[in-house]
């Protein structure tokens, strides 16, 4: 999630990046994104702490989401495997609907329709979630995913050229700022 704080001063950008093991975008694409945002005086927050199953998202992440003006959601192939990411997404969409937070989805090496319809790897993740969580929680996650995936965003294939992806992200940021 990219977020721009509303309390004046520096623009604070935070992001909710979804991946089960933290490897599919956190240490590659996101590092390029953070490096590109830093010279623009856009601060980022990270959810790099060890995220344990069954635990709630930290109050710091909730506060960062709530104080954000813009949320950049980076959907990756493993996004739906992470209940933390799904909880963060639910909070982001709540802020969009209640506070008017701007939400910009980025589909990183995943088709937007896969996210929207929760098919393929997303469907497999939800089959597992349905066996472990209450139906109302899973339905909130599904609704948040569908709503977010219906927002016009950017579709970025996983290419070897990190500079191209970074330039795309800067275009996204300039568009949203």
- Would you please indicate which residues are annotated as catalytic (active-site) residues? 88
Tell me how far apart the alpha carbons of residues 145 and 34 are, in angstroms, rounded to a whole number. Answer: 24
Could you tell me if 5 and 68 are in contact, meaning their C-beta atoms sit under 8 angstroms apart?
yes
3-state secondary structure the chain: CCCCECCCCCEECCEEECCCCCCCCCCCHHHHHHHHHHHHCEECCCCCCCCCCCCCCCHHHHHHHHCECEEEEEECCCHHHCHHHHHHHHHHHHHHHHHCCEEEEEEECCCHHHHHHCCHHHHHHHHHHHHHCCHHHHHHHHHHHHHHHCCCCEEECCCCCHHHHHHHHHHHHHHHC
**Alpha carbon 29 to chain centroid distance?**
13
Structure tokens at 73: 């959601």
């Amino acid at each position: 999630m990219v977020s721009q704080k509303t309390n004046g001063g520096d623009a604070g950008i935070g992001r909710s990046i979804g991946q089960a093991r933290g490897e599919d975008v956190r240490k590659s694409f996101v590092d390029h994104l953070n490096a590109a945002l830093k010279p623009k005086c856009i601060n980022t927050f990270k959810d790099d702490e060890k995220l344990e199953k069954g635990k709630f998202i930290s109050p710091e992440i909730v506060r960062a989401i709530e104080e954000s003006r813009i949320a950049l959601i980076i959907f990756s192939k493993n996004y739906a495997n992470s209940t933390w990411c799904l909880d963060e997404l639910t909070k982001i969409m709540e802020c969009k609907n209640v506070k008017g937070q701007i939400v910009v989805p980025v589909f990183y090496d995943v088709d937007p329709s896969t996210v929207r319809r929760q098919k393929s790897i997303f469907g497999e993740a939800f089959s597992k979630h349905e066996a472990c969580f209450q139906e109302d929680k899973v339905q909130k996650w599904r609704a948040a995913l569908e709503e977010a995936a219906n927002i016009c965003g950017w579709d970025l294939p996983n290419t070897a050229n990190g500079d191209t992806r970074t330039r795309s992200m800067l275009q996204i940021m300039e568009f949203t700022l």
